[in-house]
Amino acid sequence: MSDDADVKNLPLDSIHRELGAKMVPFAGYSMPIQYKDGIIAEHTATRTAAGLFDVSHMGQVRLRGDDPAKALETIVPADIQGLAVGRVRYTMFTNDKGGVLDDLMVARDEQGLLLVINAACKAADIEHMQSAIGNQCEIEVIEDNALIALQGPKAASVIGQYTTAARHMLFMHHQHLRIKDVSISITRSGYTGEDGFEISIPSDAVEEFVQLLLDEPDVSPVGLGARDSLRLEAGLCLYGNDLDPDTTPIEAGLAWSIQSRRREEGGFPGHAIIKDQIDNGAPRKRIGLKLEGRAPARAGAEIANKNGDIIGTVTSGGFGPTVGGPVAMGYIETDAGTKGDSVDIMVRGKPLAAEITSPVIVPHRYHTV
Amino acid sequence: MGTKYTEDHEWITVDGDTATVGVTDYAQQQLGDVVFVETPDEGNAVSKGGEAGVIESVKAASEIYAPATGEIVEGNSALADDPALINSAPEGDGWLFKMTLSDAGELDDLMDAAAYKSYVEGLE
């Protein structure tokens, strides 16, 4: 029971319990892994209607000052100076080996930058920012806001009932809006591959807002279990599994997040290695895997080619309800295989047949136009 | 002898020379949606508390333990096509395997239905 003393409650804790959530400790918080209907139903509801996620465990940070974008560029490889007000970019904190310390979303508004960082890396990221750029900009950890995500094909029509402005936002755009007299910060983005929104809202207003959304017939509460199966099918990295300090964004297939000016100019940790990998190729690459049978393969399982040589490792794996079978993500030696190739994944000493695919197994449906 | 239960949330029902083993309703609730079951092969020898297969749910793999020592007679082949039987009928059609018992006395210290019910209540 002593573990519970270190576990914090989310602002929506009582709603989760009322809904019959199975709570587990995660990144220092008591979090809902699933609700009554189970992971498969929640996952499917998100891809067919709308799923509502409590992601308040994540870190929300405001950067302010004369030029927070220039400061942030010293520790991330994305073009932040060129990020216009009202736009959002995905990027990562890199280390001297070009490896990833955390991945994050950066939004620009009139007051500076708004960052969303992973819960497990919150303390380390903040410490990293303080020591690297604390003298160049003001770093404020936003403690009083909850963060919720509404994801799925019906997300826009649901949120549109409360604010028409949200309906017209494009993917990776940001706005400050008022909903029912509450100031919210909203981006059209998410972690499921579906259209959707992430909404930062004061903790003292989130319960009422969430009740409104949950009363909508198209909205289902969705826990961490389905959050993981959704992002896995969509080929989105999970820090700690698919990204880590020994993995570069190029190996991870994230070169697209490093805009050309930054590739040339550098000015972030690990630039030389990253530039070399962009120009000359990286030793490993991230792949998707579709397994033939029903048995899932999970992180750590070895990937073998048809000659029996080990060519890589699974970094994330599980069951994909939309795919209807087990799916996985992993890394292989760059020249060891390509999309369409058959491989074996070693699970409990047995080879499970699989096919190499793009990590994006379920196509994205972002609202880009 | 009625159905007996283990602390790992498995049940075992003896019928003549064979015993049928499965997981309880409490177990399937904890597991969540089951997506794959690996049942032990016919002819395998198992010991009480030893591994006797795996249940894969969406989130994780969970080991199945043999509640007694003996030999596997049959794994439930229905689970290959419909692993979700474990969720919908854990104490019926979702049985895991049948086995012979080397020593029926091993079941004496397992819980009966009433004791298992109290045990589960104590966990919640």
Helix (H) or strand (E) holding A179: strand A174-179
Give whole-number Cα distances, A113 to A73, A131, A165, A185, in Å: 12, 18, 21, 12
Asked if the Cβ–Cβ distance from A34 to B32 is below 8 Å, we say: yes
Shortest Cα–Cα distance, A29 to chain B (Å): 19
Please indicate, yes or no, if residue B38 is contained in any of the structural domains. yes
* In the predicted structure, residue A3 carries a pLDDT above the cut 60: no
The DSSP bridge partners found for residue A303 are A312, A345
Number of domains, chain B: 1
Q: What is the pLDDT of residues A178-215, one digit of tens each?
A: 998 999 999 999 999 999 999 999 999 999 999 999 99
Q: What is the pLDDT of residues A209-241, one digit of tens each?
A: 999 999 999 999 999 999 999 999 999 999 999
Please indicate, yes or no, if residue B60 is contained in any of the structural domains. yes
Cα separation, A163 vs A184, whole angstroms: 11
- Give residue A160's Cα distance to chain centre: 24
> Are A43 and A229 contacting, i.e. CB atoms less than 8 angstroms apart?
yes
Quick check: B59 contacting A, CB < 8 Å?
Answer: yes
Neighbours of B31 (CB within 10 A): 20
Shortest Cα–Cα distance, A123 to chain B (Å): 27
Q: How many CB pairs under 8 A join A and B?
A: 44
> Are A158 and A186 contacting, i.e. CB atoms less than 8 angstroms apart?
no
How high is the pLDDT of residue B65? Answer: 95
> Are A230 and A45 contacting, i.e. CB atoms less than 8 angstroms apart?
no
Q: CA-nearest residue of chain B to A319?
A: B58
Helix (H) or strand (E) holding A47: helix A39-48
**Binding-site residues on chain A for chain B (CB distance < 8 A):** 22, 33-34, 38-40, 225, 228-229, 293-296, 298, 318-319, 321, 326, 348
Considering only the beta carbons, identify the residue of A228, A229, A296 that sits closest to B36. Answer: A296
Considering only the beta carbons, identify the residue of B54, B56, B59 that sits closest to A39. Answer: B59
Shortest Cα–Cα distance, A294 to chain B (Å): 6
Give the CATH number for residue B37. 2.40.50.100
Shortest Cα–Cα distance, A339 to chain B (Å): 25
Going by pLDDT thresholds of 50, 70 and 90, the confidence category of residue A5 is low
How high is the pLDDT of residue A2? Answer: 43
What value, to the nearest 5°, has the Cα angle with vertex A365 and ends A288 and A356? Answer: 15
How high is the pLDDT of residue B17? Answer: 85
Q: What is the mean pLDDT of residues A259-277?
A: 98
Residue type, A283: P
Considering only the beta carbons, identify the residue of B33, B36, B80 that sits closest to A39. Answer: B33
Q: What is the pLDDT of residues A133-179, one digit of tens each?
A: 999 999 999 999 999 999 999 999 999 999 999 999 999 999 999 99
Q: Give the mutation candidate from B59, B77, B82 for the A interface (greatest A CB count, under 10 A).
A: B59
What value, to the nearest 5°, has the Cα angle with vertex A350 and ends A349 and A351? Answer: 130
Q: Please give the structure tokens belonging to residue B69.
A: 């020592």
Cα separation, A260 vs A323, whole angstroms: 35
- Give residue A308's Cα distance to chain centre: 34
> Are A336 and A311 contacting, i.e. CB atoms less than 8 angstroms apart?
yes
Quick check: B123 contacting A, CB < 8 Å?
Answer: no
* In the predicted structure, residue A82 carries a pLDDT above the cut 80: yes
Quick check: B40 contacting A, CB < 8 Å?
Answer: no
Asked if the Cβ–Cβ distance from B36 to A40 is below 8 Å, we say: no
Q: What is the pLDDT of residues A278-323, one digit of tens each?
A: 999 999 999 999 999 999 999 999 999 999 999 999 999 999 999 9
Please indicate, yes or no, if residue B120 is contained in any of the structural domains. no
Could you report the average pLDDT of every consecutive run of 10 residues in chain B (124 residues)?
93 94 96 96 96 95 96 97 97 97 93 96 89
Cα separation, A313 vs A315, whole angstroms: 6
Please indicate, yes or no, if residue B11 is contained in any of the structural domains. yes
What domains can be seen in chain A, in order of their start residue? 2-59+144-233 (3.30.1360.120), 283-369 (2.40.30.110)
Q: What is the mean pLDDT of residues A122-141?
A: 98
Which chain A residues are Cβ-neighbours of B87 within 8 angstroms? Answer: 38
Cα separation, A253 vs A282, whole angstroms: 10
Please indicate, yes or no, if residue B8 is contained in any of the structural domains. yes
Please indicate, yes or no, if residue B124 is contained in any of the structural domains. no
Q: Give the mutation candidate from A35, A40, A314 for the B interface (greatest B CB count, under 10 A).
A: A40
Asked if the Cβ–Cβ distance from A319 to B58 is below 8 Å, we say: yes
Quick check: B111 contacting A, CB < 8 Å?
Answer: no
Cα separation, A16 vs A33, whole angstroms: 10
Q: CA-nearest residue of chain A to B60?
A: A318
* In the predicted structure, residue A1 carries a pLDDT above the cut 50: no
For A45, half-sphere exposure in the C-beta direction (CA atoms, 13 angstrom radius) is: 24
* In the predicted structure, residue A74 carries a pLDDT above the cut 70: yes
Which chain A residues are Cβ-neighbours of B38 within 8 angstroms? Answer: 295, 348
Give whole-number Cα distances, A256 to A145, A260, B38, in Å: 31, 9, 41
Asked if the Cβ–Cβ distance from A40 to B58 is below 8 Å, we say: yes
Please indicate, yes or no, if residue B41 is contained in any of the structural domains. yes
How high is the pLDDT of residue A4? Answer: 52
Q: What is the pTM of this model?
A: 0.95
* In the predicted structure, residue A6 carries a pLDDT above the cut 80: no
Higher pLDDT, A369 or A322: A322
Q: What is the CA radius of gyration of chain A?
A: 20
Asked if the Cβ–Cβ distance from A318 to B61 is below 8 Å, we say: no
Which chain B residues are Cβ-neighbours of A298 within 8 angstroms? Answer: 60-61
Please indicate, yes or no, if residue B95 is contained in any of the structural domains. yes
Cα separation, B114 vs A12, whole angstroms: 37
Considering only the beta carbons, identify the residue of B35, B80, B87 that sits closest to A296. Answer: B35
Q: Which of A290, A279, A286 is nearest to A355 (CA)?
A: A290
> β-strand A182-187 against A196-202: which pairing, if any?
antiparallel
Which chain B residues are Cβ-neighbours of A322 within 8 angstroms? Answer: none
Cα separation, A235 vs A322, whole angstroms: 13
Please tell me the total number of residues recorded for chain A in this structure: 369
Q: Residue A349, exposed/middle/buried by CB under 10 A (0-12, 13-18, 19+)?
A: exposed
Shortest Cα–Cα distance, B93 to chain A (Å): 19
Considering only the beta carbons, identify the residue of B32, B38, B59 that sits closest to A295. Answer: B38
Q: Residue B22: which domain range?
A: 4-104
Q: Residue B78, exposed/middle/buried by CB under 10 A (0-12, 13-18, 19+)?
A: middle
Place of tokens 């609700």: A35
